[in-house]
Amino acid sequence: MPSGLVDDENLFPLYGSVQGNLSNEGGMHRSFRQTVHLSFMDLPKKNDATYRLDLNATILLPIKESVFIDADDPLVIEYGKDFPDGVKCKTTIVSGDTSADMKAENGCDIEFSSSEVIDIEQPSFSSRQYVVVYHIHVSLDFNESHYKAMRGGLALDIDYATTLHIRYPSPAVNGDVVPIVIQQPLLYSAVVDIYDRKYTLQTNATASEYGGDNKWAVPQPIIVNVAAGIDNDYWWVTLITIFAAVIGGIAVITSIDSISDWV
> What is the C-alpha to C-alpha distance for residues 223 and 246, in angstroms, rounded to an integer?
41
| 11 pLDDT more than 50 | yes
| 98 pLDDT more than 60 | no
| 212 pLDDT more than 60 | no
- Give the CA radius of gyration of the chain: 25
Percent of the chain with pLDDT over 90: 22
What's the one-letter identity of residue 140?
A: L
The model carries a pTM of 0.75
Average pLDDT value for residue range 70-82: 78
| 220 pLDDT more than 50 | yes
Nearest in space to 40 (alpha carbons), one of 186, 187, 185, 202:
202
| 205 pLDDT more than 60 | no
Query: What pLDDT, on the 0 to 100 scale, is given for residue 161?
Result: 93
